[in-house]
Chain A
Amino acid sequence: MGATEMREPSFLILTALAGGPLHGYAVIAEVAQMSQGRVRLRAGTLYAALERLAAEGLVASSGEQVVDGRLRRYFRLTDEGEQALTLEARRLRENADRAVARLRTARSRVAPA
């Protein structure tokens, strides 16, 4: 990824795949669980995001399996994807740390003597 920030669905998809290869619906379920139900991906959105992430070299196909007559395609995080996720996680943590520090300073200023 470049200097631009990663969108939340992309970040959550990469995070879901950080635990190992997953098929389409497993990614959707992981993302929903991690976001506590806030981000509910639909299949079209998921595959559009996976296609874009694959074009950027962040994810790759990791084999296919037929279960109950349904094709399951697995996806995995690439080395580049791992690096991009690490950088984005660090950026988010630094932002969060800064926000918490500022809020703490502001609260200490307005606290009654």
Chain B
Amino acid sequence: MTAGPEAAYRRLLRAYPASWRRRHADAVLGTLLDQADAEGRSAVSVADVRDILGHGLLARLHLLLDVVPGRVRAVAGTAALGSGAGLCLALLLLGEWLPPWAPPSTREAGFGPFLTVGPLLYAAWLLAVAASLLRHPRLARSLLGAATLAAVVLPHVVANAYPYAGVERPSSTALAPLAVLGLLVLAAPPSRPSPAVVAATAIGTVAAVGGPMLPLWLSGGSPFPVRDFFYYAYAHHLAVSAAVLLAAGLLAAVAALVARRPAYAGGALLALLPWAVLLLAVWRRISTQGMSALEPLVVVAGVGAALAVLGGLRALGVRVRL
């Protein structure tokens, strides 16, 4: 074997993080060279390039995720799975579905009986929860990956316009927390999620998000408010929803600390992130409407939630490498 493939393989192995290379690079290099010899190659194969680059990048991603311990991520992932189901259910039934008493003007544009393409995303999430509970982790991961990607990409590819025409998407105010929830689940997909935790977080989120929407949905006044819920005057209701969820999460974290379950406490704190994001998203929307009275409250709550997450993780002895 010439020095050619060895030097090339060494360069390729730089795809892995330095700490991984210190532990494994020489052993992997030996295996790569043995395999090249056995296959009669004196050059790096395309399959090796793809394999090493892919696994190297995954190793770097894991290093990033390992900032938070696996147990904490697993608890946050399970809570986020349930919370996402609650958010999707509330948005699907109360934010998107037009009831029979909706005025005809609200049906000018839409997606079947729904206002936007959002139900596709919500349905993917709800199916992912079912797949996860029925122990089909790969299917659950695929569906969650698709839903998360859609939540990130939709605001950039579909521009909602007034007057309503063509295909619309849900407001980015609703998609932002959903994207964060998706990332939390994908960071630690629970292989055996606790149905009790999933159900409790789902019910809590349906109540917190759906509560303020229900009277509006039932009233069906003109202009029918649900379409505008995330865009205009009702955004402050979502600030209340986010505040309720942040408070509930903080209480759950304190209860877990009292019960000496630090991983649960850390997980509960980490699972607050989407609701802090929702608060910030609502703040952004309210600011553009000149409703700045809520700004200080939203900023304080958002910063407080972020500090609570960081402080809680630090108290638990979580390593933070920046």
Contacts and interface: CB of A to CB of B under 8 A. Distances in A.
Interface stretch (A66-74, A84-92, A94-102): A66-74
B137 interface: yes
Interface residues of A, number: 22
A59 interface: no
A43 B32 contact: yes
A27 to B, nearest CB: 9
Interface string B239-250: 000000000000
Tell which of B27, B47, B191 has the most Cβ of chain A within 10 Å: B27
Interface in A55-113: 64, 67, 70-73
B29 A70 contact: yes
Contacts of B35: 25, 28, 42-43
Given A29-B38, A42-B48, A44-B55, A70 B30 contact: yes
A89 to B, nearest CB: 20
Interface string B30-55: 11111100100000000110011011
> What interface size band does chain B fall in?
20 to 34
Nearest to B30: A70
Contact of A25 (B26, B31, B135, B191): B31
B38 A23 contact: no
Contacts of B54: 44
B52 A43 contact: yes
Given A3-B135, A42-B48, A24 B38 contact: no
Nearest to B53: A44
B27 A4 contact: no
Contacts of B52: 42-44
A24 B31 contact: yes
A18 B55 CA distance: 26
A64 B27 contact: yes
A25 B34 CA distance: 6
B135 A4 contact: yes
Contacts of A67: 30
B302 to A, nearest CB: 36
Interface in A25-43: 25, 28-29, 42-43
23 contacts: A3-B135, A4-B191, A23-B31, A24-B34, A25-B35, A28-B31, A42-B47, A42-B48, A42-B51, A42-B52, A43-B31, A43-B48, A43-B51, A44-B56, A45-B55, A47-B28, A47-B31, A47-B55, A48-B55, A67-B30, A71-B29, A72-B30, A73-B30
Interface of A: 2-4, 23-25, 28-29, 42-48, 51, 64, 67, 70-73
Interface of B: 24, 26-35, 38, 47-48, 51-52, 54-56, 58-59, 135, 137, 191-192
What 10 pairs across the A-B complex have the smallest Cβ distances?
A24-B31, A25-B34, A44-B55, A42-B51, A70-B30, A73-B27, A44-B51, A71-B26, A43-B31, A71-B30
